[in-house]
Each structure stands twice: as structure tokens, then as C-alpha cells.
């Protein structure tokens, strides 16, 4: 099976379960408080609009590295929970970061502000949409049908991952300058390490297998973040669902920007600095910033770092404690994650 | 054991567990992202400042109605989770409602805004403080050490309660006029019904016992809300930890206010209407509103309704499926809940 076919299969499995969950919750919500349906609908739309389901794909591949096909019901529920968790985080983060667009459409706080005709009500109901998804996440994780040691490991692994992401976001919104730690906590934790460790918990992995999965997760998380940075700087709106060069306007201190600031001459550096962090930068200015970053060699540098990280990933996968079936799937997903164009 | 002694015992048990939990999480947080400690500290301070622990007291009493002393470890964890859940809700709600004071000190979004020197950062970090508590709640509930059928019932009961509260808050912030439904979802659900049903789940209650506990919860939830309304209108700042008559300034449509508007003559009614919902009403105006509500007979009416509801509670407790030991404790807590002055 090609990585593409594997991802298609995962998507069908996860999207099917997500639809079941939302149908059920819509029924409950209609009975409890029908006037709140727009809030649930906004959360559902954003969840279903995010199509790749890479986190569940990594979760299932991690399980297949240890005990292929173990506990399919619990695995599907935890995979769906990862997607709902992602939506919850995006909704809260977009409001915090004042990001108007997500996945090619208005962010939830923006669409709910329109619905209620008031920015504060939009913000409140977006926070509540996230809170509601969080409640669903925990019903799924807490009720996963697993032997009790695995279930306890699953709940604690999920809780720890969740706390890492939240603390990472705390650092991010308060403009902490420990970028590497923010990336690790905010992105690495639940994009790669989390799915690996959750899979290890579900499959009852030995310490050795769990450590091998963690060793694989670390370079992959870094590579994923770098790919994200490259897309944030150079990706098209059609691919990323966000305005071109948004990272420049937000003034994100990415590896690309740091490399450019170190390698450009003084005049170019000053010009780039004049665009970074300016929400009102014109399209021409953003395109100029792109050109400067490109000229500094930052993009080429980032691509070479991604390649090196990918090699480290694949080497880490070559561990005797991991089964070949899962390793093959995992290598495919890792390739998609680091080569993706959106 | 008197109700007062029982509550003291519950408080010691819950506060001890909460301190253990926060010490543990503080250690983790120091290792993960020490710069975020102010956020955790704000959440801890608010949790420890709320002293009565009535929800865990009801939880334990419900368990003792069915299987006295069942699963003490899981019960303590779920009791602590109820308190953390309450803090999480208060933090998010206070920001949404723009309430500056909670439990006699600045609300979390206010104290964090001061800490970071910025209102939006205060709001973001308060939301994240709530999110962090929510993660802890679910680690406690999901890892409760119980036989698997009881654990599954516990997780689903908690999840449903959580969704009810969130939808109730959605209705509240969007100014829905179904006050009774808002009370039931936002307050009744996790103040009385939730602890009853969680206790029933932990103790493996029969359908009959669970229904008896629900029949008890319904009038008690209403009585609790009414007592809250009386305190919100007439309570002193020393007792409630909130400015006197805050409910008038917020324009809450309580039973007291509705009764007063129906029973006052036109001139008094207009005067009362002139104060309701005005955040900038003077102290003299608030005192005048109090006097008008008192004169309308609304307070007396509310007290008589509370008495009638208390009778209904006690009658519901007189069910053969509930054990006398738990019923005695429960009657004591119900008395404290409906007679409390803060």
C-alpha cells in the first residue's frame, strides 16, 4: 500500500467516526439547548474542513510498530480525539493570535462574531466551542475500551501532552523568546511525539519500543516545524489556506528569518526588518521580504536541514523493537509530513 | 457527626488532595516551562481560596447512600476534579462576563493582566489557566481506579455534565431568555445533579437508587440557585466576596427581580428598572434597588419557595433504595446549601 493509499484509508476511518460523534452530539445538543447549535456547527465545520488526518495516521502506524491492529475501536476513538483536540487548540489559538482565517475560511471567532453581530460574543462563543470539543476529547479518551494498565497509560500520556501544548501556547502568547521550547511544547508534542506515545500506550509497548518511537519523533517534529515555516514564508494561499507570507506579518522568529537576518547585508537586513511584525505590510512588501529571505539562502538551508532530519528519522525507525509493518507505514507518513506542500 | 463536622472532614480530605495535585503539576511545569508558573499559580490560588467544598461533600454523601465508603481513592480524585472543574469554569466565565472580582480577590484575568501589563495577555493566559485545569480534571477522572463498568459510567456522566455546563454558559453569554434552562444547565447540572450522578456511577448504583438521587437533586438545585439569587441581591461583600448588589448592576433576571417587577407599583417599578443592568449605578442606587425588591415581598417569597423546595428534597431522600447513613449526611449538606449566608 502506498503512503497515499494508507492516508486515504485513515481519512475514511477517522472522518466516518468524526461524523458519528458529531451526529450524536448534535442530537444531545438539540435536546439540551438547541439555540447553541451554531457554536457546535462552527466546531464541526472546522474539524471536517481539515482533511489530512496525519496525526491519526501516525498513531495507527505507531500501534502497528508494536502490536499491529491492536484495539481498533479504542484506536479509532483516540485518533478522532486527536483531531478534535487539534480543532479545540486552533479555535482558542486563533482568537488569542487574532488570526482571521483558518483552513481557507473565516476562523471560528470571526464566523461566530458575524453570527451574533458582536466581537466579544464571537470570542466567548469560540472559547466555548473549544471547551465543548475538549469535553468530547476527554469522553473519548477516558472511555477508550482498553485493558486497565493501557488505559491508565493512555490517559496520563494524553494529559501530559495536553499540558505541554497549553504551556507552549502560554509561552507563545506572552512573547517568550525560547522559540525552540515553544516549538517543542506547542507543536512537537501533539503533532508527532503525542501520537507516538499514545500509540505506544494503546499497544502496550515495551520501554524499548517506546523509546525507539520517541527517538523517531524528535527529528520528525523538528522537520515538521521547519516545513511549516517554509510554507508560512513561501506557500501559496491555495495550498496553506492562509494569506501568503503571513509569518512575516506576524513577525514569527522562524529559522528562515533568523538565517536571513544573519546572512543578508546591512541594507537588505534593514529592509527585511522593516516588514517583519507589521500586520499592515502591503502585498508588495511581503513579496519583497520573501525575495530577501530566498536570496539569503535561508530556504535552501532549511531544505537541507529537513533532509538531514528525515535521514535521522529513518535511521531511528531501524530499531529491532519495532515491527516492519508499522515501520513501513511510518516512513511513508514521515515522508508526507516533511515533503507536504500544504 | 454534625453537618459542620462532616464538611470540615471533607474539606481536609479535598484540600489535602488538591495540594498534592498542584505540587505535582508545579514540579512538571517547572521542568516544562518555568516561565508559565504565574498562570498555574493564579489557578491554584483561586482553587484554594474557595473553601466550602460542597460539591465533593455531596459526591461522598451520594456514594454513602449506595455503598458507603466505596472506592475512597477514586472518590477523592473525582471530588478534587469537581473543585478544579469549578475553578476552570469560574476563570472562563469571569473573563466572558467581565467580572473583576472572584472570591474576595481580583479575578484571574484581572490579576494576570496586571502581571503581564496587558489586558489581552491577561485574557489569553486566563483562558489557558482554565484549559490547564481542564486537562488536570480529565487526567483525574479518566484515571480513576474503578472497575471498568463504573469507570465508563463515570467518564460519560462527567462528559455529559461538562457539556451541559458549557451549553448553559453559551445561552447565558448570548443573552438567551430561557432563564430556567440556563440555571438548570449552568448551575443545577454540576452543583447538585452532577455530584449525585457521579457518586451513583462510582458506587455502582441501581437504576432505582440513581433515580432517587436525581429526584433529590432537582429541587435542591433550584433551592441552591434561589439562595444564590438572594445572596446576589442582599448578601454583604464580606460574605459573598463580590460587591453588594452586583446582580442588580449586571441586570440578572432572577426570580427576585421578576417578582419585584410584577408586584411593585408603576413608579417604584420604573425606579428599579432604572438601576437594573447599569454597571455604573451608584452605591445609593443599588441600595435603593435592594429596598424596592425587599418592599415588593420578593425576598420573603423567595425564602418561602426555598423552604418548600427543601421539604421536597427531604421527602425525595426518604427512598428505600438509599442507605440511612448517606441520607443523613446528604440532608445535612442540603441544609447547609440552602441556608448558607455565602
**Residue A74 maps to which CATH number?**
1.10.600.10
Q: How many Cα atoms within 13 Å fall on the side-chain side of residue A275?
A: 25
The SS3 of residue A38 is: helix
Say if residue A184 is in the same domain as residue A212: no
Q: Which of A205, A226, A250 is the last residue of a domain?
A: A205
Q: How far apart are the first and last CA of chain B?
A: 22
Say whether A163 and B29 touch across the interface (CB within 8 A).
Answer: yes
Q: Are B75 and B90 in contact (CB under 8 A)?
A: no
Distance CA A56, CA A11 (A): 9
Distance CA B101, CA B111 (A): 10
Say if residue A264 is in the same domain as residue A284: yes
Say if residue B211 is in the same domain as residue B196: no
Say whether B132 and A163 touch across the interface (CB within 8 A).
Answer: yes
A-interface mutation test, from B31, B33, B112, most A Cβ less than 10 A away: B33
Per-position b or e across B309-330, b if 16+ CB within 10 A of its CB: bbebbbebbebeebeeebbbbb
Say whether A131 and B160 touch across the interface (CB within 8 A).
Answer: no
Q: Which of A205, A233, A267 is the last residue of a domain?
A: A205
Distance CA B160, CA B57 (A): 21
Beta strand pairing call for B101-102 and A101-102: unpaired
Residues of A whose CB is below 8 A from B124: 96, 173
Residues of A whose CB is below 8 A from B171: 33, 35-36
Say whether B166 and A141 touch across the interface (CB within 8 A).
Answer: no
Which range has the worst mean pLDDT, A111-120, A223-232, B25-34?
A223-232
Q: Which chain B residue's Cα is nearest to A124?
A: B96
Residues of B whose CB is below 8 A from A35: 170-171, 174, 176, 178
User: Among A39, A151, A174, whose Cβ lies nearest the Cβ of B116?
Assistant: A174
**Per residue in B84-112, pLDDT tens?**
999 999 999 999 999 999 998 999 999 99
Q: Which of B66, B64, B59, B111 is nearest to B85 (CA)?
A: B59
The SS3 of residue A278 is: coil
Q: What is the pTM of this model?
A: 0.93
The mean pLDDT value for B179-185 works out to: 88
Distance CA A88, CA A94 (A): 10
Say whether B173 and A124 touch across the interface (CB within 8 A).
Answer: yes
Say if residue B181 is in the same domain as residue B223: no
Distance CA B37, CA B129 (A): 10
Say if residue B34 is in the same domain as residue B6: yes
pLDDT value, residue B79: 98
**Per residue in B229-244, pLDDT tens?**
899 888 887 777 777 7
Share of chain B above pLDDT 70, in %: 99
Q: Which of B155, B163, B159, B164 is nearest to B74 (CA)?
A: B155
Indicate if the pLDDT at residue B341 is higher than 80.
no
Assembly ipTM:
0.92
Helices (DSSP H) in chain B: which residue ranges? Answer: 3-32, 37-49, 54-66, 72-97, 108-116, 119-142, 148-173, 179-183, 194-202, 207-234, 237-240, 246-250, 255-263, 266-273, 283-295, 298-317, 324-339
Distance CA A162, CA A89 (A): 10
pLDDT value, residue A342: 63
Q: Which of B247, B237, B230, B248 is nearest to B340 (CA)?
A: B230
Distance CA B156, CA B202 (A): 12
Give the residues across from B106 on adjacent strands.
B101
Say whether B168 and A33 touch across the interface (CB within 8 A).
Answer: yes
Say if residue B190 is in the same domain as residue B55: yes
The mean pLDDT value for A69-94 works out to: 97
Say whether A28 and B132 touch across the interface (CB within 8 A).
Answer: no
How many domains, in total, are found in chain B?
Answer: 2
Q: Are A313 and A196 in contact (CB under 8 A)?
A: no
Q: Which chain B residue's Cα is nearest to A89?
A: B131
Please give the residue range of the domain that contains residue B1: 1-205
Say if residue B110 is in the same domain as residue B248: no
Q: Residue A193's CB: how many other CB atoms inside 10 A?
A: 23
Say whether B167 and A29 touch across the interface (CB within 8 A).
Answer: yes
Say if residue A65 is in the same domain as residue A153: yes
Say if residue B75 is in the same domain as residue B177: yes
Q: Which of B151, B180, B205 is the last residue of a domain?
A: B205
Q: At what angle do helices B72-97 and B119-142 cross, to 10 degrees?
A: 160
pLDDT value, residue A185: 92
The mean pLDDT value for A264-270 works out to: 95
Q: How many Cα atoms within 13 Å fall on the side-chain side of residue A145?
A: 7
The SS3 of residue B59 is: helix
Q: Which chain A residue's Cα is nearest to B138?
A: A138
Residues of A whose CB is below 8 A from B25: 163
The SS3 of residue B104 is: coil
Q: Are B173 and A125 in contact (CB under 8 A)?
A: yes
Tell me which residue has cell 499592515. A280
pLDDT band per the 50, 70, 90 thresholds, residue B342? low
pLDDT value, residue B225: 87
**Per residue in A101-151, pLDDT tens?**
999 899 999 999 999 999 999 999 999 999 999 999 999 999 999 999 999
B-interface mutation test, from A159, A182, A186, most B Cβ less than 10 A away: A159
Say whether B33 and A167 touch across the interface (CB within 8 A).
Answer: yes
Say whether A156 and B139 touch across the interface (CB within 8 A).
Answer: yes
Using only C-alpha atoms, chain A has a radius of gyration, in whole angstroms, of 20
Q: In degrees rounded to 5, what are phi and psi of residue A67?
A: -150, 85
Residues of B whose CB is below 8 A from A124: 96, 173
Say whether B163 and A32 touch across the interface (CB within 8 A).
Answer: yes
Distance CA B263, CA B229 (A): 18
> How far apart, in Å, are the Cα atoms of A110 and each of A91, A121, A215, B216, B303?
10, 10, 39, 43, 44
User: Among A124, A135, A168, whose Cβ lies nearest the Cβ of B163?
Assistant: A135
Q: Which residue has the higher pLDDT, B245 or A9?
A: A9
Residues of A whose CB is below 8 A from B148: 148
Residues of A whose CB is below 8 A from B35: 170-171, 174, 176, 178
A-interface mutation test, from B22, B120, B131, most A Cβ less than 10 A away: B131
Say whether B173 and A136 touch across the interface (CB within 8 A).
Answer: no
Q: Which residue has the higher pLDDT, A247 or B213?
A: B213
Host H or E run for residue A113: helix A108-116
Say if residue B270 is in the same domain as residue B194: no
Host H or E run for residue A101: strand A101-102
User: Among A155, A160, A181, whose Cβ lies nearest the Cβ of B33?
Assistant: A181
Say whether B171 and A36 touch across the interface (CB within 8 A).
Answer: yes
Say whether B163 and A28 touch across the interface (CB within 8 A).
Answer: yes
Q: Which of B228, B197, B231 is nearest to B213 (CA)?
A: B197
The chain-wide mean pLDDT, for chain A, equals 93
Say if residue B140 is in the same domain as residue B234: no
Q: At what angle do helices A207-234 and A324-339 cross, to 10 degrees?
A: 20
Distance CA A231, CA A237 (A): 10
Say whether B156 and A139 touch across the interface (CB within 8 A).
Answer: yes
Query: How far is A150 from chain B, CA to nearest CA, in Å?
Result: 11
Q: Are A134 and B134 in contact (CB under 8 A)?
A: yes
Q: Which residue has the higher pLDDT, B94 or B188?
A: B94
Q: Are B91 and B133 in contact (CB under 8 A)?
A: yes
> How far apart, in Å, are the Cα atoms of B61 and each of A71, B196, B225?
37, 8, 20
The chain-wide mean pLDDT, for chain B, equals 93
The SS3 of residue B307 is: helix
Q: Which chain A residue's Cα is nearest to B35?
A: A171
pLDDT value, residue A253: 79
**Per residue in B268-301, pLDDT tens?**
999 999 999 898 899 899 999 999 999 999 999 9
Contacts for A183 with CB less than 8 Å, ≥ 6 apart = A168, A221, A222, A225
Residues of A whose CB is below 8 A from B172: none
Say if residue A159 is in the same domain as residue A199: yes
Number of CB pairs, chain A paired with chain B, less than 8 A apart: 147
The mean pLDDT value for A74-82 works out to: 98
Three cell numbers written together for B91:
476563570
Distance CA B81, CA B136 (A): 8
Residues of A whose CB is below 8 A from B131: 92, 134, 166
Amino acid at each position: 500500500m502506498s503512503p497515499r493509499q494508507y492516508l486515504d484509508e485513515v481519512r475514511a476511518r477517522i472522518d466516518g467516526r468524526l461524523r458519528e460523534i458529531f451526529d450524536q452530539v448534535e442530537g444531545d445538543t438539540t435536546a439540551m439547548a438547541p439555540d447553541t447549535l451554531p457554536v457546535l456547527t462552527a466546531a464541526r465545520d472546522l474539524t471536517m474542513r481539515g482533511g489530512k488526518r496525519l496525526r491519526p495516521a501516525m498513531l495507527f502506524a505507531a500501534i502497528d510498530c508494536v502490536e499491529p491492529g491492536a484495539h481498533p475501536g479504542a484506536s479509532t476513538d483516540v485518533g478522532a480525539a486527536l483531531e478534535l483536540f487539534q480543532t479545540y487548540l486552533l479555535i482558542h489559538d486563533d482568537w488569542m493570535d487574532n488570526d482571521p482565517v483558518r483552513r481557507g475560511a473565516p476562523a471560528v471567532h470571526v464566523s461566530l462574531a458575524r453570527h451574533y453581530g458582536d466581537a466579544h460574543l464571537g470570542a466567548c462563543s469560540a472559547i466555548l466551542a473549544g471547551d465543548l470539543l475538549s469535553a468530547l476529547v476527554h469522553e473519548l479518551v477516558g472511555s477508550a475500551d482498553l485493558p486497565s494498565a493501557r488505559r491508565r497509560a493512555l490517559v496520563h500520556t494524553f494529559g501530559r501532552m495536553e499540558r505541554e501544548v497549553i504551556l507552549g501556547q502560554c509561552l507563545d502568547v506572552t512573547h517568550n523568546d525560547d522559540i525552540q521550547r515553544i516549538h517543542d511544547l506547542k507543536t512537537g508534542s501533539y503533532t508527532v511525539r503525542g501520537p507516538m506515545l499514545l500509540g505506544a500506550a494503546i499497544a502496550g509497548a515495551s520501554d524499548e519500543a517506546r523509546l525507539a518511537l520517541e527517538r523517531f519523533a524528535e527529528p520528525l517534529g523538528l522537520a515538521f516545524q521547519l516545513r511549516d515555516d517554509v510554507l508560512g514564508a513561501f506557500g501559496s494561499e491555495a495550498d496553506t489556506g492562509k494569506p501568503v507570507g503571513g509569518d512575516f506579518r506576524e513577525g514569527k522568529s522562524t529559522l528562515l528569518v533568523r538565517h536571513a537576518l544573519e546572512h543578508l547585508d546591512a541594507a537588505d537586513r534593514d529592509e527585511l526588518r522593516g516588514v517583519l511584525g507589521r500586520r499592515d505590510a502591503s502585498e508588495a512588501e511581503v513579496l519583497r521580504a520573501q525575495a530577501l529571505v530566498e536570496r539569503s539562502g535561508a530556504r535552501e538551508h532549511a531544505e537541507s536541514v529537513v533532509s538531514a532530519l528525515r535521514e535521522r528519522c529513518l535511521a531511528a525507525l531501524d530499531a529491532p523493537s519495532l515491527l516492519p509493518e508499522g515501520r513501513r507505514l511510518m516512513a511513508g507518513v514521515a515522508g508526507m509530513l516533511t515533503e507536504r506542500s500544504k
